[in-house]
Amino acid sequence: MAVSFPDRMLVTGGAGFIGSNFVARAVEAGSFVVNLDALTYAGNPDNLAPLAGNDRHLFVRGDILERDLVLGLLREHRPSALVHFAAESHVDRSIDGPGAFVRTNVVGTFELLEAARAHLGGLPPGEAAAFRFVHVSTDEVYGSLGPGGFFREDSPYAPNSPYAASKAGADHLVRAYHETYRLNAVVTHCGNNYGPYQFPEKLIPLVALNALEGKPLPVYGDGQNVRDWIYVGDHCEGVAAALARGRPGEAYNFGARGEMTNLALVHALCDRLDALAPPAENRALAGRVASYRELVTFVQDRPGHDRRYAIDPSKAEAELGWRARHGFDEGLELTLRWYLANRAWCERIAAGTYRRERLGLAAP
């Protein structure tokens, strides 16, 4: 699939994991990107290091809750699209502190929509009609699946965590602004992303870094919760496809048909690390284990832990001409090689406020 980007975009959350991967691809393709990020704990300027000195990338530190700031950027730079990645995104953190998720994910999305509406009201009709708003959401808004079936775009919403509920609220606002104000908006949903620059509170980097340091590898509950994994580059291409070809008012699900239990994923990661960074050569292990699998430790389950997610990407494949290009084995290999080659990035993250401690144990 040929990936194309608008000439000029405003991207929110472009210093985060998925956002920075998207911005890098857009700039490489020739797009001018105004990148708005508040640089909270998961927004990392180091993620943008490959773009240093590139005059097609303008970084602005600021909060999506600041409507006047967003409106000023829209009026100054006249982008033809706004791609909205900015979000509080970790379920465990939403259990500990749901207020931040409501403020950023619900109220912040509302402020963006209002800024876009005000901006479009002052544009010539043709320019206003060409403007696109893409809201990047999650499969977690659909709740939990049983042993069979898949999430489709018409699946009912049934969020089970404060994070999922806040993203569901934002989705509904975007849809309402399309229906009420005719905003040219599209909503996308995806499975669990993995790849370079992912903040180490998420499962794959958390397990990889713990393994390399000889620490326990935490697996929630019985390890049989199922997630549908997608390589971040494939997801970014999906967002670009929705931006270019998505029908206004529609939603699109992006998945790679990569269902896997959490325990199977951790075992696959350990097996790959056994080959890439053999335990016998890892000083942190001091000969304690022959395989990283021996570090797996089952821990107390997360409150309200959804049992299974699985995405049907057929609509995106048929309407957008998109398809995930990386199988899980290939994507995991690329990801682990990146973390092994970028230990300095990992160490700078660990020197901040998050040291891979357990989160999300607040009473339900």
Are β-strands 32-37 and 57-61 bridged in parallel, bridged antiparallel, or unpaired? Answer: parallel
The tally of CA atoms less than 13 A away on the side-chain side of residue 54 is 22
| Alpha helix stretches (DSSP H) within 105-246 | 108-121, 125-130, 162-181, 203-212, 232-245
Closest CA to 117 of 186, 166, 175, 178: 178
Looking at residue 44, its amino acid is N
Beta carbons of 209 and 145 less than 8 angstroms apart: no
Q: Which of 111, 139, 153, 306 is catalytic?
A: 139
Q: Which of 37, 88, 92, 140 is catalytic?
A: 140
| Cα(223)–Cα(230) distance, integer angstroms | 19
| Cα(212)–Cα(197) distance, integer angstroms | 17
DSSP string, 87-115: ----HHHHHH-HHHHIIIIIIHHHHHHHH
Beta carbons of 130 and 219 less than 8 angstroms apart: no
226-239 per-residue burial string, b: 16 or more CB within 10 A, e: under 16: bbbbbbbbbbbbbb
Q: State yes or no: is 139 an active-site residue.
A: yes
Bridge partners (DSSP) listed for residue 253: 189
Q: Which of 88, 111, 153, 163 is catalytic?
A: 163
Q: State yes or no: is 163 an active-site residue.
A: yes
Bridge partners (DSSP) listed for residue 227: 260
| Alpha helix stretches (DSSP H) within the chain | 17-28, 67-77, 91-96, 98-101, 108-121, 125-130, 162-181, 203-212, 232-245, 262-276, 314-320, 328-341, 343-350
Beta carbons of 212 and 269 less than 8 angstroms apart: no
Q: State yes or no: is 140 an active-site residue.
A: yes
Residues marked active site are found at 139-140, 163
